[in-house]
Structure 1
């Protein structure tokens, strides 16, 4: 039997006599909210609840990009709880209150509110300026905080970053003045590693602490990077390291260097979303557009006259469909006990989905080339 319709809560919104029936609309989330509000729920339990949350949102016919925003909000809540628990633990151990203002930053997809079901940790810490003679005392406090909250998140199911992009490491834990100096050093020439590190920092959002520190860092980025011509050239050149998943005949395929789980798997995160995200980030830095999410950046580039309205709309649609393909695959993987990664099984796509995917990747490839040449 072929199932052609899944019952939707929207179809139960009205009773036979025309009365609004809000309980029918909230029913898919009711059991989840009861579980989440339990005072005995651990961070690991709350994180494990996320797949059920995603499934419930699918039941509301929400598109993947909307669901990814909710997942990102949920992860941000886990961050805040992990930080709060860590601060409570430090107070109980005699560390006292934070000695100066601070701001914990989300980085990457979490900062763009584009997380799906398998993110790891990417975070940083801005510490308000303090005199050098207090460095051991104050940095020691925030090192302890960074180690504690990242460990809690790892135990909850958001794994530690394998590239060490976390507030527990000095590279990603600095005073505001040190972040400004770091930006000046990173942008002074076109060294690949420095550009890569800056790219990581460019997508950030405050999650705990004093958000004014994040705003001041954003101002420094906007005033420093667009004027650094050699750095911007290298940032554009690095787009070549993210080839779109099309071969020279225009067929959808993964690069030979990527270890595909099987012969019809394509890494749409690495060779679809990331090229689009990187090109949009580059053009927004170049033209001083402060937007953070990929959709907002594409719209901003239209408003700034760097993309036509039609091209912006095509790229937004491509982004949304790639998010959908990845979320569908990750839900399938999770249901079958596999990892939620960036690979999509082409055998699971219908013919129309394959054609749309090829079209979307062509639009992304043209956009990347446009950003590279500008």
Structure 2
């Protein structure tokens, strides 16, 4: 006769990890031996120090809270809802319980027999790994470095460098041809011809590399008549030399060529210019190793003359991102490469716009990138957030100068829109005269935001405090940054109000750990990962780093890593925050790539149980961080 109860248990188990990866025969055996436990609200299933049960448990319906003990005010360790596994200690450690399980509401629980389950773990390695991870997450300090790495690591634990072409050591040209800095240019040209090479390493009297001379240098400097072929090589060489270690990976080499805007890297024994050169690495070596490279796209960006060319390159960058992402290249490497390419597109857009202006800029200026671009966190294509600051001018010249930069900004924003970056819905772009101002105007603006904090001012502060110079004069930006930090000195109310604003972000989870979704509008029933998870982490990192007066670190994960240095007592916790930030960005990017959108709104029914579990671990970190912010900046009385 058919066992209908066992069939129902089987149908339920197969939907949730780790039971979803167990073969049918073994899962049927488990289902036939499961016990069903009904718990009234407040009923204790097991207590701290109780002798181990013969089963571990899975929530079928309702909710079970795990606490330190039975007391009403005891610390809550976890809340388990449908599909969550708990009570694993007897299976993993074979000793007494170290927490208490209480039904937070009427609940139905399946008891999985340990003696039936253990043989399955022995032959199904992944099943055991999942249960150990679940057990660890409910017992260990979630802010320890090891725990954070387990949950927020950038790549799978079983990933090996030989499995990924991009992580292999790149091949380069060995036994490079060198020339003395005092040798004549004509000798260098003859040597390049004799050895059939396109570049030479220039060395000093100790044979240490100090520069490079290439066939391009001869075309631009000697053939054009700018320099005589009789000048010393040091007069036409490129310097300083870019040196790197010999075991450079393909991706590291790619990033180095992009960052240094160079077609050549000199390989030395220890990676510095204090040891002799042992090889040369070129863009050609990258192309041979990988084909369509980031450095190749960078060159294409610099050659582009029209927005449509940049748009095509941006689409290629999106494909490059997808390739990197689904090969599990470490996130920090992906982020650096994509940021450099995005930055280059913005710079080229500004250069094209300047070429269309009737005259050169009347005074010094700088283009500021804001938001996720300013934080170097923009992987997917989003809308524009930018501003422009120009040098102070006499009052009689102000209107004409302002008009020039407003027109320039409008052209840049229009080009970027054609490339694929949408206009900001709130018009927080440099084309808006409010965000195209002189240095003194910007100083006054920031001072107003800091000293007269209103709701709208806090919103602007959260965006504009993350500015990053993309193009233009460094000194203008440095002076602006200095004035901001000076204005925040001895201003505790500013940090309190900023903290209050950060704490008003919508919560990601309800009391029973269910994901809170949008209740109405276009995104009804979807989970907003930006507003409910990424923004709280970003906002609180900004507040903490500003309170420490740390300049020039805008990236959220890097801010938490810096905080770990500044506050050793909270090191593990801040590292967990850093890993959480990376994990959430990675999660959003993954879903954005799958659905060809910004990845902001998530369909919960598409998430696996493992994905939900990992997201909830990130949310726990956010919850603890909010408590720190409340206490440190005395926000409690204002909420």
Task: Calculate the TM-score normalised by the size of structure 2.
Answer: 0.52
Q: Work out the CA distance in 2 between the residues paired with 1:12 and 1:217.
A: 43
CA distance in 2, matches of 1:240, 1:176: 32
1:142-161 to 2 correspondences below 5 Å:
142-161=405-424
Give the alignment partner of residue 8 of structure 1, picking from 155, 164, 175. 164
Q: What is residue 231 of structure 1 aligned with on the other side? A: 494
2:590 pairs, out of 306, 316, 328, with: 328
- Equivalent pair of 1:72/1:114 in contact (CA under 8 Å): yes
Q: Does 1:84 align with 2:351?
A: yes
Superposed CA deviations along residues 106-126 of structure 1, whole A, max 9, x for unmatched, are 001101100021311100111
Q: Is the 2:407–2:431 contact (alpha carbons within 8 Å) kept by the matching residues of 1?
A: yes
2:333 paired with 1:70: no
What SS is found at the alignment partner of 2:366? strand
1:100 aligned onto 2:363: yes
Query: Could you list the per-position Cα deviations for residues 152-206 of structure 1 after superposition, in whole angstroms to 9, with x for gaps in the alignment?
Result: 0001101111111111112111111111111222222331111221221100110
Match of 2:623 in 1: 365
* CA distance, structure 1, for counterparts of residue 450 and residue 386 of structure 2: 21
Structure 2 CA distance, aligned partners of 1:60 and 1:257?
A: 37
1:113 to 376, 380, 389: 376
Aligned with residue 50 of structure 1, among 314, 317, 327: 317
Contact kept? 1:112, 1:292, Cα under 8 Å = yes
Instruction: Provide the alpha-carbon RMSD of the alignment.
Output: 2.9
1:242 paired with 2:500, answer no
Q: Which residue of 2 aligns with 1:164?
A: 427
What is the TM-score when the length of structure 1 is the normalising length?
0.87
Give the C-alpha shift of residue 314 in structure 1.
1.1
Q: 1:170 to 1:354 in 2, by over 3 A?
A: same
Q: For 1:27, which of 290, 297, 315 is the aligned residue?
A: 290
Of the two, which has the highest radius of gyration? 2
Q: Is the 8 A contact 1:10 1:25 kept in 2?
A: no
1:255 CA drift (Å): 4.7
Shift in CA distance, 315/100, structure 1 to aligned 2, threshold 3 Å: same
Aligned mates of 2:454, 2:587 — CA distance in 1? 35
| Counterparts in 2 of 1:244 and 1:306: CA distance versus 1, 3 Å | farther
- Greater displacement, 302-311 / 48-57: 302-311
1:292 aligned residue: 554
Could you tell me how far apart the structure 2 residues matched to 1:216 and 1:333 are?
A: 42
In 1: Cα distance, 2:550 partner to 2:167 partner? 41
Q: Give runs of ≥4 in structure 1 deviating > 6 Å.
A: 4-7, 11-15, 20-25
* Greater per-residue strand proportion: 2
Displacement of 1:296:
1.5
| Paired residues for 1:303-318 under 5 Å | 303-305=565-567, 308-318=570-580
2:374/2:467 contact within 8 Å kept: yes
CA spacing shift, 1:326–1:258, aligned 2, 3 Å: farther
1:10 Cα deviation from its structure 2 partner: 5.3
* 1:11–1:199 CA distance, 2 compared to 1 (3 A): closer
The answer on whether the counterparts of 1:129 and 1:175 sit within 8 Å (CA) in structure 2 is yes
C-alpha deviations, 1:68-95, integer Å up to 9, x for none?
A: 33222222111111100000011xxx3x
Q: Structure 1 unaligned runs (5+)? A: none
